[in-house]
Each structure stands twice: as C-alpha cells, then as structure tokens.
Amino acid sequence: MTNSQYVPTIGIETHVQLKTKTKLFSAVGNDARQAPPNTLISHIDVGLPGALPVLNQAAIELCARAALALNTDPQKFSWFERKHYFYPDLPKGYQITQYQAPIIKGGFLEIEAGGRTKKIKIERANLEEDAGKNIHPAGADYTLIDLNRAGTPLLEIVSRPEINSAAEAKAYVRELWLLMKYADVTDGDLYHGHMRFDINVSVARAGDKLGTRSEIKNLNSFRSVEAAVAYEIKRQIELLEKGQKVIQETRGWDEAKQKSVAQRGKEEAEDYRYMPEPDIPPLELTDKFIEDVKAELPKLPPQLRRQLDKLGIDKKVTEDILDRQSIVKPILDVLAAGSPADARRVAFWLIHAQPAETEKVGIVEPEIDSARLISLSKMVDGGELSSTAAKAVFDELLSSPEDPMTIAKRLNLLQVTDTAAIEKIVEEVITENPKVAEDIKQGEMKAIGFLVGQVMTKSQGQANPKVAQELIKKQLDLVE
C-alpha cells in the first residue's frame, strides 16, 4: 500500500503575540525580550485579590487589523471568559480568554504549495492573555517562575483542518507570519516565540472518515512545523499499516532528534469551567472603528506580490524579498520613480546586502533613499560603472551619505568610456599579442575575449568592455 492511499488532515492553531506597548489588561511594558525576570509585572499580572483588569484598546485595533488581513471583518460583538486551570505560571488560577464569542470568526488565507494556489479557511481567532514561564534549571530540585510574559496579549488563530501535507503546513504558517507582520499586528520574532504553532495531524485511508489525531504543541519555526507534520504523517501511516491504532494524545517535538515523542500522563478531557469575565464589559466595535482601521491597513503580501511581479523576477526571488520586510519599500519606491530594470537591479543589491536571517532577531536593514539607488542604477545603464563596480559603490552607500558618483570617483571605480583613452590601450594590446590578433582576423572570434581581458587588466578594470570590444574589431578592420 502506498502513501497516496492515505489522506492526511492537518489543522494548525497559532498564538500570535501582539505588538502593543503594554499588556492586555495592565499598564506594564509588553516587550520582555531583554527584561530581567519578574520586572515587568503589576498587581494585575500576578493576580492579587481585588486587582481589576482594564482592556488595552490597542490590542483590539491589532485584532481588527488581523481580521482584515485574513479577509474578514472583526466581530462587532465579542466578550471575554475565564478559563480555569491550575498551573504555577498562572497565579490567578484562570486565563482571561474568549470562548463563545471570539473577536474573529471566519476568514481565509491563500497559500502556494505543490505548484497550485489553495485557500485555507480560518475557523476563528480569539484574544487572550499569555501565562508566565516556568524555568527548570538543569540539575536543580526547584522550578523558577518568571511572570514577565503573564498578561501579554495573544491572538489565537485556529485554521480549519484543510491542510493536507507537510509542504502545505509550512506554506500556511509562513503566509500567516507574513500577513501578521505586514499588517503590523506582531513583530513576528519567531526566535522569541512571537508566533507559536500547535499542529493537529491525523491520517485516514482514502474514502474513510477522519482518523484519530495527535497534537504537537509550541513549535516555533516554519521548518519544525514542516518536519513535525511530515514525521507524524509517516508515524501514523506506519501504525495503521501494522494494524495498530493511533492514540489521541499530545506529543512533544524533539528538535535535535527530529522526531515526536509521546508525552507522559495522557490528559483527560478537561473541564475549564468557562464563565463570563465579570471585570471586563463585553466588547462592541462601531462601524467607524472598523472603517478607521481599514483605512490605515498597510499593504499586505498578496498586493505586494502583484507589484513586485512588475520587476519580472522569479517568484522565488519575490518571496525572498517579502521575507525581508524592510527592503520591500525601497524596491517599490525605485519601481515607482525609476524603471523595472532599475528596481530589479536594486532588488538584487538589497537581497545580497545581508543574509536573509528571517527567523532571528537583531537584523538591521540598511536605509537608503530611492533617489540614490536610482542614480546608481542609471550609472550602470549608462556604462559609467560595471556591475561589479556598482556593487562596490552600493556597499558604500549603505554606510555613507554621499551620492553614488562621489563614491565611484573616490573609489576610482568609474568606467572609462572615453574612446581615445581606450583606443591607446587597445593598440598596445594588439601590438603585444600579434598571434591572437591574427587569429581573430582569421575569424576566430572567440579569441577577442582574451584581448578584451587584456584591455581590462591594463585599465585596472575601468575600461568599458563593450567599448573595448568595438575598438578591437575596428582596429583589426573587422567593422567599417
């Protein structure tokens, strides 16, 4: 029996950390990346008796943007509930979340996988607070608790189980990441867990109803989502092939071994005793609020792809550009003020300016204005700079306020297009290489490259090679 006789079904739940300045219910800083443990906390975050949460309006705006990015409107009416469970990193004994009336219902995003476009629908997305963190120091017989993250706003986005392969799963999480980043909903710092993915995987024989699913929680990279889904599909098919059953369970992903492992203590069906949160009134959004958010929604990847298409570049390159948000604007600025050829040239300079480490923090992208980029590109068009020299000038531009011409002159990189100057060098080269010159005259045009090379060497790379070639032909009487 082959794998094609099994149909994998995958649903993905994503926790997106919203980029608000303060927490969801307290006026405490939200960015805990550099903060020492338990320094970003208040009476509300640690759940002191009588502490009253106040809803952060900025978080609601970000949820509204997220809804629009997912091709739907936010719900005009939603409310919060308490989800009860006991865990040391949750001092209140409950999480404030949304259950019956989430802020987003429906919506979809489009992915490209296996050469086709596919729509993945969103079931719902709810706004909730994050819990703290338990830290287990190696070898210690105690656990440390850091509550900096407690109360951080999260949007939990639940896909419909419409994903059918590891490649589609990876495409889904990447597209969701792009949408949330470009909609300015999250900083999207995967390294610091700004997006965490829970995958539900089951396989069934073609034609059968859904199989039993397993869940792997808290994956934090596209690669691990892809690998974990692929592993689970394979593991479950192997069990079924042996006539065994898939157990419904939560499994852990071992990144080092690239395999999932059963986690001990199979949980029973939990009863969270949801109840309406009495301290936060239900949320009602006006039409004006939604219209205002719509009016300020930044350009999103689907629209940007259509614009970048005008550069005439490979789809793969377009995606590389989208992975690095900060280079998109300069490229589109150049496209608007210059030509597609300028924009294409600038795109390649910018892509290669730094490695695309999209999944790490701390990448500082260069800021250069489009006017200087366009004039640099025009210098290549006009034969004043070779493409190698242009790259060197571009590298200087990143750290210098000078215009490209000044830099090119300072670095002595300007190409000599002055015919008289090149003519002299060509004469020398022909005199020094009589045999090659004769070969060329006899029709061995390949040999002309050698002479052009000699001209380039003698001019220290500054001669315009096209001009040099023409002059060689002229001097050897090969053209009128």
Residues within the interface to Mn ion (CB under 5 A): 156
By C-beta, is 156 or 384 nearer to Mn ion?
Answer: 156
Do 214 and 202 meet the contact criterion of CB atoms below 8 Å apart?
Answer: yes
Least Å distance, CB 391 to Mn ion, is 47
Least Å distance, CB 215 to Mn ion, is 13
What tokens does 259 get? Answer: 């395999």
Q: Which residue has the CB atom at the shortest distance from Mn ion? A: 156
Do 233 and 8 meet the contact criterion of CB atoms below 8 Å apart?
Answer: yes
Least Å distance, CB 333 to Mn ion, is 39
Q: How far apart are CA 349 and CA 227, in angstroms?
A: 32
Residue 255: C-alpha distances to residues 47, 219, 225 (Å): 34, 9, 10
| Secondary element (H or E) of residue 199 | strand 195-205
Residue 280: C-alpha distances to residues 52, 97, 119, 194, 276 (Å): 9, 11, 35, 25, 9
Least Å distance, CB 15 to Mn ion, is 6
* DSSP SS3 for 33: coil
Least Å distance, CB 97 to Mn ion, is 6
By C-beta, is 156 or 168 nearer to Mn ion?
Answer: 156
Q: How far apart are CA 314 and CA 393, in angstroms?
A: 25
Do 63 and 104 meet the contact criterion of CB atoms below 8 Å apart?
Answer: yes
By C-beta, is 225 or 425 nearer to Mn ion?
Answer: 225
- Amino acid present at 112: E
Least Å distance, CB 203 to Mn ion, is 25
Q: How far apart are CA 196 and CA 218, in angstroms?
A: 5
By C-beta, is 8 or 153 nearer to Mn ion?
Answer: 153
User: What is the per-residue DSSP string for 36-91?
Assistant: PTT-S--TTTTT-TT------HHHHHHHHHHHHHTTSPPPSEE--EEEE---TT-T
Least Å distance, CB 156 to Mn ion, is 4
By C-beta, is 156 or 226 nearer to Mn ion?
Answer: 156
Least Å distance, CB 35 to Mn ion, is 23
Residue 113: C-alpha distances to residues 118, 163, 170, 340 (Å): 8, 11, 9, 28
By C-beta, is 56 or 98 nearer to Mn ion?
Answer: 98
Q: How far apart are CA 105 and CA 81, in angstroms?
A: 17
Least Å distance, CB 272 to Mn ion, is 11
By C-beta, is 156 or 215 nearer to Mn ion?
Answer: 156
By C-beta, is 198 or 342 nearer to Mn ion?
Answer: 198
By C-beta, is 252 or 366 nearer to Mn ion?
Answer: 252
- Which alpha helices (H) appear in 123-265, and where do they start and end? 166-182, 222-241
Q: How far apart are CA 303 and CA 46, in angstroms?
A: 43
By C-beta, is 90 or 332 nearer to Mn ion?
Answer: 90
By C-beta, is 16 or 233 nearer to Mn ion?
Answer: 16
What tokens does 309 get? Answer: 């298409």
Q: Is the dihedral of CA 317, 357, 115, 179 positive or negative?
A: negative
Q: How far apart are CA 95 and CA 66, in angstroms?
A: 22
Least Å distance, CB 270 to Mn ion, is 13
Least Å distance, CB 13 to Mn ion, is 7
Phi then psi dihedrals of residue 108, to 5 deg: -165, 165
Do 129 and 96 meet the contact criterion of CB atoms below 8 Å apart?
Answer: yes
